[in-house]
Amino acid sequence: MKLTELTLTQLRDGLRQGSITSVEATQAMLARIVDVDNDIRSYLTITDEMALEQAASADARRAQGEDTPLLGVPIAVKDIIATQGVPTTAGSKILDGFIPPYDAFVVDQLKAAGAVILGKTNTDEFAMGSSTENSAFVTTSNPWDTERVPGGSSGGSAAAVAARLAFAALGTDTGGSVRQPASFCGVVGLRPTYGRMSRWGVVAFASSLDQVGPFGRTVADCTALFQATAGYDRRDSTSLDVPVPDFEAVLTGDIRGLRVGVPKEYFISGIEPEVEAAVRAAIAQMEQLGAEIVEISLPHTRYALPVYYLIAPAEASANLARYDGIRYGPRVDGENMIESVKRTRSLFGPEVKRRIMLGTYALSTGYYDEYYGRALKVRTLIKQDFVEAFKQVDIIATPTSPTTAFKIGDRADDPLGMYLADIFTLSLNLSAGCGLSLPCGFDSQGLPIGLQLIGDTLQEAKILNAAHAYEQSTAWHQQLPLTGAS
């Protein structure tokens, strides 16, 4: 088996046993990036020199008896997460050339765990998108079919993990931006409980919804990265000051007696028949493993899309007001300050402009209570649905997306059609729970299908173990895309 085909946990075992060095693994991964990423375009910045220095340091530390959780493991980071001395663009021309003088909390955690950082992955501009087509720089392709999208906004991270261009990666999830690309690319993606992973140093989109999350090829890989990066951060006012359990230890694979809720609102017209069949087969498999399947209802699910597209743009409108070309980022000069700010903000892409306008309208005088205020009230109802559901069940199982990956350009002129790609993931972000996507099959075109497992607040252990149990009873995670196979 090639080094790049190892899972993170297999690589970590090899590093600990001394059969592999971090320099060897990093060189193999960098060589594969050179060979393959021209077709995938998952990276915006490749930090090859820094990665090799970190790998050499990891090998030296290991030789001295040190063993941190990710010592010597090459990881990718979404380009919306600040990295000291490395460009962080958020996929936008308005941040082109911005080099942070500090690391985000999760990057600090990666470095403390001994990880090797390979580079920064592509993203929809300011994480606003479901396909990674909204990046100002390149469009990332799906490794399973390069004519199709990898999902978004963390499409670069998902594609890098799927194409074996990183052993794991960090992304962010505001409305499904970890889980949906994980589904499209056939990898595992976790959206932890809001506040479980610090947002300090992450470029803000919608502050009450944004959450950092890990990608891995397997549930164990995803868990290892989550374990290393979760934790309390006093610099983030929304960070949860709670202990981080040993998540890797909970992957027992025993789900006997686990109550799995199946909400009827998630199996609707418009879902592709092959997606529904694969997800229902996965739920049946969990029943075979000893879980109890319970039909439940989340009655306010149908309001999640309009509520999200009032709250998220409103918060984006406030957050992106700081980009004026005066404090940081590029500046386009004009005849006066107002003209200069206008010209600078013309660097925003069309989707970002659309959401800023939606959000500004929703917050404007005379419309605040009618739109934003009402959306907040319905958000409470959506959250209450989950509160009631978790009185009956331990976790919830649904499709991650109603379709498999669509072709690049197919929804470029159809914003609503694009937004509907996240119809099954939005509700979780509006609540206070956690969720993940993992592979549960393929459609007739060979495209991955994702199963979404949702847990209550701070119940990541339950969904990770359930996902691990299902994964170990199937072989979906063992299949690799043919892109760059030679």
**Number of neighbours of residue 439 by Cβ within 10 angstroms:** 29
- Using one digit for the tens of pLDDT, what is the confidence trace for 31-71? 999 999 999 999 999 999 999 999 999 999 999 999 999 99
Whether the Cβ atoms of residue 43 and residue 159 lie closer than 8 Å to each other: no
Tell me which of 3.90.1300.10, 3.40.50.300, 3.60.150.10, 1.10.3720.10 is the CATH number of domain 3-254: 3.90.1300.10
Q: Please state, in angstroms and rounded to a whole number, the distance separating the CA atoms of residues 438 and 162.
A: 12
What whole-number distance in Å separates Cα of residue 173 and Cα of residue 181? 10
* Interatomic CA distance for residues 266 and 12, integer angstroms: 38
pLDDT at 261: 98
Q: Which residues of the chain have pLDDT under 50?
A: none
**pLDDT number for residue 91:** 98
Task: Give the whole-angstrom CA distance, residue 176 versus residue 130.
Answer: 8
Catalytic sites, residue numbers: 78, 153, 177
Where do the domains of the chain lie? 3-254
Structure tokens at 438: 């993992």
What is the model's pTM? 0.97
How far is CA 138 from each of CA 43, 182, 203, rounded to the nearest angstrom? 9, 19, 19
The residue type found at 193 is T
Residue 484 has a pLDDT of 62
Could you tell me which residues are beta bridge partners of residue 117? 75
Q: Read off φ and ψ for residue 112, nearest 5 degrees.
A: -65, -30
pLDDT attached to residue 342: 84
* Nearest residue to 390 via CA among 306, 437, 436, 458: 458
In the chain, the amino acid numbered 31 is A
Neighbour-count burial of 97, counting CB atoms closer than 10 A to its CB (0-12 exposed, 13-18 middle, 19+ buried): exposed
